[in-house]
Chains A and B, each alone.
Chain A
Amino acid sequence: MTESRSAASVVRATMAVVVREPVVAIMLVAAFFDGVSGNPIHALLLGGVAVVLGRDIALGEPNPPMPLEERGLWLPSGWTVAALSAAFALVVGAFPRYSWPTTAGVVAAAAAAIAVAWRGPLMSRPDPGPLSRQGVFAWTAVLVAGALWELQALLLQPSLTVDSQQHPTISTLTDPVLATHLGRTLIMFAWLLAGWFLMRQ
């Protein structure tokens, strides 16, 4: 009886978290589909973050009060980040895609960024204030349309694991670029800079 009450309270708490913060549900769904698509490392990352974040929300732990910069932590300059990113992309990009060295490098960079984001914003930024609902709707509509377009291309492939040149996904279109060292280096460098841009917000 106690166990069933306990299970029910866990389910209620989980549902409450999902309703309050749909980002947890989105990550869990993405983890599931990545897992069944044969990408266990991706699924582990998404699922792991979702579970810990869900627990964090359920426990009601407060956000860190101050940005990391104001807590006296050293932050690299933009030029330092650019130089380190270029070196990282040059070295890791030398290995083929989906190889273990590339996987280790990308997972390390991704995990480090998530860990830093967890601790708080890097720096204080002016609050943009309430955004126009129409404006947010416009952005959401365009981004969702892009996601649906990618999804229809994916579903029109012969199978989920066989590419189609008639209905190419973004991954298929970028394959020729990412087949070269230069292409991998440039795209990886852009990915790292995009991460730095996001972390500064």
Chain B
Amino acid sequence: MNSHDVTVLGYALVVVACVGLQLLSLWPRSRVPSFTALVRRAMRGRPGRVGVITAWAWLGLHFFAR
């Protein structure tokens, strides 16, 4: 396994952890919030709402815009 594979494996582990937390949140007595609950909580006020949407906007710029 070379360093390219290790790097990709790291990203894959993060994705698996996110999916795992989301699945855990479905458990009735789970203390892990769903991703939606997390985002909804963060976006209650204007700073959080604008901050989250700006982060999303930045992603688009990063991948596509000059």
Which residues of A pack against B, CB within 8 Å? 21, 23-24, 26-27, 30, 39, 41-42, 45-46, 49, 53, 56-57, 63-64, 92, 97-100, 102-103, 106-107, 109-111, 113-114, 117-118, 120-121, 125, 127-128, 131-132, 134-136, 138-139, 142-143, 145-146, 149-150, 153, 165-168, 170-171, 173-174, 178, 184, 187-188, 191, 194-195, 198-199, 201
Contact = CB atoms under 8 A, between A and B. Distances in A.
Interface string B2-37: 111001101100100110010001000011110111
Given A136-B33, A191-B60, A56 B46 contact: yes
A139 B21 CA distance: 7
Given A98-B66, A191-B63, A198 B41 contact: no
10 contacts: A56-B46, A106-B64, A106-B65, A117-B49, A118-B50, A121-B49, A139-B33, A168-B8, A174-B63, A199-B53
Question: Interface of chain A, helix or strand or loop or mixed?
Answer: helix
A183 B64 CA distance: 12
Contacts of A178: 63-64
Nearest to A50: B54
Given A139-B21, A178-B63, A45 B54 contact: yes
Contacts, number: 165
B3 A166 contact: yes
Given A117-B49, A143-B18, A149-B10, 6 more contacts: A107-B65, A114-B54, A127-B40, A131-B37, A142-B14, A195-B56
Nearest to A131: B33
Contacts of A194: 56
A128 B37 contact: yes
| Most chain B CB within a 10 A radius of its CB, from A46, A139, A167, A171 | A139
